[in-house]
A and B are shown apart, each in its own frame.
Chain A
Amino acid sequence: MSELRGERTSRNAVALAAAIAELGIDCALEARGGLALLLPTPEGVAALQVDESRRAVLALAKEHGFTHVAIELPSERRRSSTSADAPLLRG
């Protein structure tokens, strides 16, 4: 399952989130301009340790108009500070 949050732009974040989910990578996606920020589950992180998976995600991101892809690293501080974030949207 993928989730989407952040701005909706001409870049197709919804389609990217869906395409990443189809690869079997479990993560939420936050669009920040040309940056697609992935918030993976532990299973998603494990999937992204594989070079081929990362290359596939990068290719998909480029296809959907993004110039950069990053994964947010788990952080206690973030978990306690993101309660006021924009609501998560379903991709």
Chain B
Amino acid sequence: MALDLDAVSEADLAAKTSALAAWLHANAPVAIGYSGGVDSAYLAVAARQTLGADRALAIIGRSASYPAEQWATARDVAQRFDVKVLELDTGELDDPRYAANPSNRCYYCKTELWSRLVPVAYSCGFPTVVDGTNADDLSDYRPGAQAAGEHRVASPLAELGFTKLHIRHASRALGIPTWQQPSSPCLSSRLPYGTEVTRGRLRQIELAEAALRKLGIAGDLRVRFHEELARVELAPTELSAWLDPERMAVLTEAVSQAGFTRVALDLRGFRSGSLNVLHGVSIA
């Protein structure tokens, strides 16, 4: 991934990272809701480097909607940067309000996550719990943010004006491999609202995306679930190459192995919140 080096000035980035360090010192010790995504990986490493090993704790909530590949990344980053990690299981799929997949599904997921994670953080001696929400997220449809507020989870990156681009630049400066990682929302985001979230469907999506990664597809990638049909969204730079008939056959075979009987390639390519647009939650 190429970063637009002119989009973030060194002075701006230095000011933001200093502000984050000050925030962390003022609120230490800090537990981080940690997924291994771009944002929480940066926050966990920044907290570890600012506060030391004993005053920063990354907590992973594991469930069927959390891709195994991302869990592996989370573990790898934590190991490389000596971040202490605690893992716990979450059961959002057992909540029928979540499984029904309403447009505020993320609220129920985050309620489950924080209601388990926050008490554990407190009992381990971490009175401040933070998440990786960034400033860009504030303009998107994010019902999960309400749950964070209800559980007194702070979002220092958003609070201090860190955009995704700031976080990628800062991550690269620290040598965190996730700096160029595509955004990685939970697997349930591939199902249209109103389509029931089941472990089987999440597994199907995860297998299909993993198979596509094995084909060498880089950058943003989503397998959107439409019952028997998988609609694949690729980064626009990848799209043309996969419209070659021979490569289309390879792509079809890879996705079909995950249990889809029909495979389609989106002609516009990846867009964040694509199913929100399809179902009228927001306008692209």
Name A residues whose Cβ lies closer than 8 Å to a Cβ of B: 32-35, 37-38, 42, 45, 48-49, 51, 54, 57-58, 67-75, 77-78, 81
Within 8 A of A (CB), among B229-257: 229, 231, 239-240, 243-245, 248-249, 251-252, 256
Q: How far is the CA of A70 from the CA of B262 in the complex (A)?
A: 12
B interface size (C-beta, 8 A): 27
User: What CA separation (Å) do A16 and B249 show in the bound complex?
Assistant: 27
A48, A49, A67 interface centre (most CB from chain B within 10 Å): A67
* A residues near B243, Cβ cutoff 8 Å: 45, 48-49, 71
Tell yes or no: B284 within 8 A of A by CB. Answer: yes
CA distance A68 to B274 in the complex (A): 9
* B278 beta carbon closer than 8 Å to chain A: yes
Q: Is B226's beta carbon under 8 Å from chain A?
A: yes
CB of B100 within 8 A of chain A? no
- Complex Cα distance, B244 from A42, in Å, reads 10
**B261: CB under 8 A from chain A?**
yes
Report yes or no: A68 in contact with B249, Cβ–Cβ below 8 A: no
Q: Cβ of B38: which chain A residues have Cβ within 8 Å of it? A: none
| Contact across chains for A75 and B256 when beta carbons are under 8 A apart | yes
- CB atoms of B262 and A72 under 8 A apart: yes
Not counting A38-B267, A73-B248, A75-B261, a sample of 5 additional A-B residue pairs whose C-beta atoms are within 8 angstroms of each other reads A32-B226, A67-B277, A68-B231, A69-B266, A70-B265
Residues of chain B within 8 A (CB-CB) of A48 are: 243, 267
A67 and B284 within 8 A (CB): yes
B244: chain A residues at CB < 8 Å are 49
A78 to B263 alpha-carbon distance, docked (Å)? 9
Residue from A48, A71, A73, A77 with most neighbouring chain B CB atoms (10 Å): A73
Partner of A70, one of B240, B256, B266: B266
* CA–CA, A51 and B236, complex, Å: 10
**Contact call B226/A35, Cβ cutoff below 8 A:** yes
Mind listing 5 A-B residue pairs with CB under 8 Å? A45-B243, A58-B267, A67-B278, A69-B266, A75-B261
With contact pairs A35-B226, A54-B267, A81-B261 given, residues A70 and B231 touching in the complex (Cβ less than 8 Å): yes
- A45 to B126 CA separation, bound complex (whole angstroms): 57
Q: With the chains together, A77 CA to B255 CA distance in Å?
A: 12
In the complex, what distance in Å separates the CA atom of A35 from the CA atom of B279?
10
